[in-house]
Structure 1
Amino acid sequence: MFRDELWSAIDEIYAEILAHPFLQGLTDGSLPAEAFRHYVVQDSHYLRDYARALAVCAAKAPDDDTVRQFASDAAGAIAAEQAMHAEFMAAYGSSADEAAGEPVLPSTRAYTSYLLATVYGGSFAEGLGAVLPCYWIYARVGEALLEKSSPDPLYARWISTYADEEFQSTVRAVLELTDRIGAELSAVERAKVIEHFVTTSRYEWMFWDAAWRREAWPV
């Protein structure tokens, strides 16, 4: 299946993600609150453009079912995550509006710019390859972290969201679509999809690393 070919291309990246101190700090509760707040703010910015990317995938989708699938994900899943972020900001004595007013930082800007350029400029399959890591890696991370969860209730809430069966079911549907689309691609097209998939998987690592470092614009 095409999904196996894709995942084998990011085995080492995923291992680095799981080993990253940001995720390790989520499960043992040692992650500094400032790092998690940084992540939440930047993820709020990211999700606005991710929703746009999913909407473009819906517009380019090859059949009505896939149009509905991506349109629904752009509206429903993103809204649910934004609601969760609002809860997190409230826990830090802040608000979603305040988060929206904070700057979009380098790794976020780079990731969303690549994502949007790919979905607008490439084929539907290329766009699918670019948006897939945000679905699939989060599902795998949620599953991996759920057993340990976290002593911190905010971090435990984050983990449970991505381990939840509703989210996992959404991801399974996208993976089934990926296998169907992959079976129809030429070798050249498959290589392009894999390249985008690997690139945005790297951006996933960079996103957590940026939060861990509390990345800021250098000038």
Structure 2
Amino acid sequence: MGKNKLARFAENKTLENVFQPTREEALNNHYLKGKWRSDVFKNEHPIVLELGCGKGEYSVGLARAFPDKNFIGIDIKGARFWFGAKEAIEGRLRNVAFLRTQIELVDCFFDHDEVDEIWITFPDPQIKYRRTKHRMTHPDFLERYKKILKKDGVIHLKTDSEFLHGYTLGLLQGAGHEIISAHHDIYGAPEYEPGTPLLREIKTYYEGLFSAKGKTITYTKFRLSNSSADPEK
């Protein structure tokens, strides 16, 4: 492990906007579950999660653009989101925080109806069949999201993977979830949904790399139904 990475891990422990619970703490009624607004943000504003946040570009960018919302970037790689955490502190953004944990534990940290919105930005598409359950739009993950999302909460998926884009659309249609918007190429299309915040304006590190290679960037916005049917079974 490089010295820079070790230094970031060490500094994360000192940053007031970074939370790094153990797995045991997550599984045993974590103290912030249901209390992010009152104990972390000190307000009653909506909570938005960025899952697999990487360097936290979306979390920070959206927090800067929407001071009346609270944003939480979640990733297991703390040395990456250190960049976003530092930028938020230096920019005096008090409406953004970072949580180091595995995405499959997300429902251990948030209570029912505590989350208003979720962003999934450039996740690993997990193309191999044996990795199906690791896809972040697999029904098992959607059930976790449903536990913490408000009834009318929405999920955004932004990816360069046409495979994951198609897989997700098919899954959503098969399970009866509501597809609000779907774009095969957000930069090539003349228009995109006006109500989607900063879809083109905020670019993650990986999005820049993918775009430079000529990959199209896809986008899906959807809302989960009350049904728990799994179209893959």
TM range (shorter): under 0.3
Q: TM-score by structure 2 length?
A: 0.24
Q: Which has the higher contact order (CA 8 A, sep 6+)?
A: 1
Q: TM-score by structure 1 length?
A: 0.25
Bigger strand share: 2
Bigger helix share: 1
